[in-house]
Amino acid sequence: AQSVTQLDSQVPVFEEAPVELRCNYSSSVSVYLFWYVQYPNQGLQLLLKYLSGSTLVKGINGFEAEFNKSQTSFHLRKPSVHISDTAEYFCALRGSASKIIFGSGTRLSIRP
């Protein structure tokens, strides 16, 4: 069975501080990994995705994520956050089926 675990339900950080949102996955087959962002009362928007190749993936809004196969992790990072980054972030994976499995989400709150 495949699963995605987001280890933190909420992450508070100060503006301009770095942030890391953690994501671990479980799968017996090769996976494709995604990070989505959801602003309040809106749909999800893709931040970045890992399909193959370089393990460091850069996305929109200054975010990046690193795929670590040995640790089965795909953590999302940003070196300096802004108030506008306040949102909920979802890690997701797709295995061989067409369905995507989502984590439970991490709510990022930015303090001025």
Residues of the shown chain interacting with another protein in the complex, contacts defined by CB under 8 A: 9, 32, 34, 36, 41-46, 49, 51, 90, 94, 96, 98-100, 102-105
Give 15 or 86: the residue with its C-beta nearer to another protein: 86
State the amino acid at position 104 in one-letter form: S
Instruction: Count how many residues are written for the chain.
Output: 112
Contact, 99 vs 2, CB < 8 A? no
80 vs 112: CA distance, rounded Å: 13
Give 19 or 50: the residue with its C-beta nearer to another protein: 50
- In the complex, the smallest distance separating the C-beta of residue 83 from another protein, rounded to whole angstroms, is 22
User: How many Cβ atoms from other residues are within 10 Å of residue 75's Cβ?
Assistant: 18
Give 3 or 80: the residue with its C-beta nearer to another protein: 3
State the amino acid at position 17 in one-letter form: A
Residue reference for tokens 């001025």: 112
- In the complex, the smallest distance separating the C-beta of residue 16 from another protein, rounded to whole angstroms, is 28
- In the complex, the smallest distance separating the C-beta of residue 49 from another protein, rounded to whole angstroms, is 6
